[in-house]
Structure 1
Amino acid sequence: MNWISRFDQSVSVWIKAHLHHPRLSWILSRINRGEMFALVLLPLLFLNPIYKPVYVSLPLVLIFTYGTDRLVLVLKKYFARKRPLVSVMGKVDANPDMKHSFPSAHSANSMIVGTILVFGFGETPWFLLFSLFAGVGRLLTLHHYISDIIGGWIIGFFMGLLGIFAYKLIGIYLL
């Protein structure tokens, strides 16, 4: 586990030295939000020429995203890992959320949406790029370490599979 922390720290220090910029962080923090992704994803769902039961997929995504978000909050409180903004940048903030880094909720929630839509409802695999964008954005703004992002993606993927299983189990009755 110690080597993961050292690797995370070295990647974050490299990002701070070569990629991190206050203006980029400001822009990414504004567009790397669930509401912004929803503005793009919802029209794509409704404009898909192949009929998909959006009245089933959206509630399923919302329920499992909410559950995943609650799980991630419990894990964040348990691990209480300081964000790179604190440990690398030395930022001092009275916000108690600054010590809750692992796992990334943005990565987990975006991955669950992509997993359910792509593997459960046959949407385009391009939906998974939103999860990649969410993770990389959080990495570049130094809100998360690389292991936080990967951990969030893993949690989101498995919760997405659980959502697909639930859909397959009870979805027949909803259609």
Structure 2
Amino acid sequence: MLQFLKNYYRNHSVKLLISLLFFLMALFTFAAITNEVLFEKEEQIDLMIFEFFKAHIIRPGRTGFMYTITQFSSAPFVKIAYPFLMLALLTGRFYRRALFTVAAGGGGLMLIYITKLFFARPRPLHPLLYREESFSFPSGHATFSFIFYGMLAYFIWLTELPKIWKYVFMTFLVILSLAIGFSRIYLRVHYPSDVLGGFSLGYFWLFLMIYTFRRWFPLA
């Protein structure tokens, strides 16, 4: 592995190397969660985090805000946001970016569906506001938010905006994605491990799509 990374470093940029390291970390994290939580049935940390939220974070005045945040990766939002993004890209004649959007988004949704069915983890008991009917692992909201907002961040990076504004917008999108994952734990519709697994899966898929398109179908 060390020799591979040295050879990779000689032929690629530092940014791509860092992305690869995060990619490997995402795979390791996802594998560790599936082993400890789903196969070994170790849920103590999840339950401890729920207790911490109940004692120190959950407050009536915050619940409405958390519900609003979670909607930014909900099915109704996706049904509006994706067609709008596709229309904007096609209107601007960014055809490869539109193709990337279909591959990353459509493939991501399929990946979420398959993994949920495979692991079939029940939802947490006693949700704060409402009960979700689908399986719990991985968090679809966390996975898809990382894919969708990460994709938007990548598109912003490809623009001609000054770097300072690129960093501002990209930071906002990352924070929004993390906030969506946080809201799923707050609302107790997902275990914390579901959210962390979702972020890991989302990063894995987004990196794979970006690497594939950079290599064979450059977007810029």
Q: What is the rounded CA distance, in whole Å, between the counterparts of 1:23 and 1:82 in structure 2? A: 28
1:49 aligns with none
Contact 1:104 1:151 in 2 (8 A): yes
Q: Are residues 1:71 and 2:111 paired?
A: yes
TM-score by length of 1: 0.71
How many residue pairs get aligned? The number is 161
Q: Are residues 1:160 and 2:184 paired?
A: no
List 4+ stretches of structure 1 deviating above 6 A: none
1:145 aligns with 191
The structure that has the greater radius of gyration is: 2
Aligned pairs (5 A) from 1:13-28: 13-21=51-59, 24-28=62-66
Q: Could you list the runs of 5+ residues in structure 1 that have no partner in the other structure?
A: 47-51
Aligned pairs (5 A) from 1:14-163: 14-21=52-59, 24-33=62-71, 34=73, 35=77, 38=81, 55-84=95-124, 86=125, 88-89=126-127, 96-97=133-134, 100-119=135-154, 122=157, 124=166, 125-126=170-171, 127-163=173-209
Task: Report deviation, 1:107.
Answer: 1.0
Q: What is the rounded CA distance, in whole Å, between the counterparts of 1:130 and 1:91 in structure 2? A: 21
Deviates more, 1:102-111 or 1:1-10: 1-10
| RMSD over equivalenced CA pairs, Å | 3.6
Q: Could you list the runs of 5+ residues in structure 2 that have no partner in the other structure?
A: 1-35, 159-165
Contact 2:128 2:188 in 1 (8 A): no
Q: What is the rounded CA distance, in whole Å, between the counterparts of 1:137 and 1:90 in structure 2? A: 11
Contact 2:142 2:198 in 1 (8 A): yes
TM-score by length of 2: 0.58
